[in-house]
Amino acid sequence: MAFEFLQSLADIEITGGLTLLSLFIGGIIMGVGIIIARTIRLLFTKYYAPKLPQDTAKNFGKLIYFGIIILSFLVFTSTTGVDFSGLLVAGGIFGVIIGFATQSVVSNLISGIFLMIEKPVKQGDKIEIPGSDVTGTLLDISTFSVRVRRFDGTIIRVPNESFFTSNIRSLSSTPVRRSEAIVGIAYKEDIDGAISVIEKQIRKSMAFVLTLPKPEFRISALADSSVNIEILVWHPRDDWDQVGPTLLKVAKNALDGAGIEIPFPQRVIWQAKE
């Protein structure tokens, strides 16, 4: 009965040697291929992925999955005995049209592959793309885009091509980072005295500022109204939020405490003799 049913399917030809039976067998092959691909990806994710870096594991998972599916499709085409040469010619012309239309998609794909090979940054790194508003933690590098979680909690998606061709500033590739702030004092004030009180206050109230290298103080400008002191302090790379946003506050409190004037913009006008 079943044999007769299959025989009847084999007799129904859809197009150029492709029968309903071969399509049925192809469907089974593809179905089995997908099941095998999912099972192997699941086993890989469970047993081997934890031993690999997160992004490598993810890419390997995808490679295994789509590799098995492509293999299944090749087995399907070879078992059906269908002549795809006509389709290839048509596909070639169609491919050129699609190629022009999907230029950016392909470009993103190729950039994604190069990003995965070059690995300028890795998942979990804190990064900044200078000149854009992209600053945050790298969530993943996928086939077409990169996802970054910004420090305000939102997630931004950057196309791979744009990410690959940008300058990328890694904020977490070294053990320490430096933060800077500029504070101005009045011209009449003692510069060394001001530096000394700021240094003492930093040491007292900023637990994440490194003792070595010592905080550095530079006179950045003899500006219109003030002598500008640039403060440079080092801190562990993950503790910028404990230092960067509070450095100016600490400096101002120190100067206020010591009675050192932070001047407002001012202009001296000399009246000409009549």
Partner 1 sequence: MSSDNSESTLSDYGIYKISEKHEFTLPDIEIKIERIGEHVFSYIRKDAEDNILKKIIPITSSDLTIELCPIRPLNYPAHRTNHVYLDFESPIFLSKDSAATVFVRCPIEVGIFLVHDGHKDSLDWFTCDPLNSRFCLYGTPESGTLCKYMNSEIVESYDDSIPFQNAVLKIDIKNELSRGVTVSKIVFPITGNSIYYKNSKAIVDSLTATFKKKLTLEIIDVDSIMIQTDWIKSPTYEQSESIKHMDMGVD
Binding site for partner 1 (CB under 8 A): 174-176, 178, 203-204, 207-213, 234-236, 238-239, 242
Q: Closest CB to partner 1 among 190 and 241?
A: 241
Q: Which residues contact 258 (CB under 8 A, 6 or more apart)?
A: 193, 194, 197
Residue 50 or 259 having the CB closest to partner 1: 50
User: Nearest 5°: phi and psi at 218?
Assistant: -130, 145
Beta bridge pairs of residue 126? 137
Token pair for residue 23?
Answer: 């399509």
Q: At what angle do helices 247-257 and 191-205 cross, to 10 degrees?
A: 120
How near is the Cβ of 233 to partner 1 at its closest, in Å? 11
User: CB-based burial of residue 167 (10 Å sphere; 0-12 exposed, 13-18 middle, 19+ buried)?
Assistant: exposed
Contact 72, 32 (CB under 8 A): yes
Residues 6+ apart with CB under 8 A from 105: 144
Q: Which is nearer to partner 1, 8 or 173 (CB)?
A: 173
Report the nearest approach of partner 1 to the CB of residue 137 (Å).
Answer: 12
Tell me how far apart the alpha carbons of residues 70 and 122 are, in angstroms, rounded to a whole number. Answer: 28
Closest CB to partner 1 among residues 13, 238: 238
Closer CB to partner 1, residue 97 or residue 212?
212
Give me the helices (H) in 127-257, please: 160-164, 191-205, 240-243, 247-257
Show Cβ contacts of residue 16 under 8 Å, excluding neighbours closer than 6 positions: 82, 83, 86
Q: Shortest approach of partner 1 to residue 214 CB, angstroms?
A: 9
Q: How far apart are CA 202 and CA 233, in angstroms?
A: 9
- Provide, rounded to whole angstroms, the least separation between the CB of residue 236 and partner 1: 5
Smallest distance from partner 1 to CB 215, Å = 11
Task: Give 38 or 200: the residue with its C-beta nearer to partner 1.
Answer: 200
Instruction: Give min distance, CB of 210 to partner 1, in A.
Output: 5
In the bound complex, what is the minimum distance in angstroms from residue 46's beta carbon to partner 1?
Answer: 17
Beta bridge partners of 134: 129
Nearer to partner 1, 181 or 206 (CB): 206
Q: How far is the CB of 135 from partner 1 (least distance, A)?
A: 20
E-strand ranges in the chain read: 13-15, 18-19, 126-129, 134-141, 145-150, 155-159, 169-170, 176-185, 216-222, 227-236
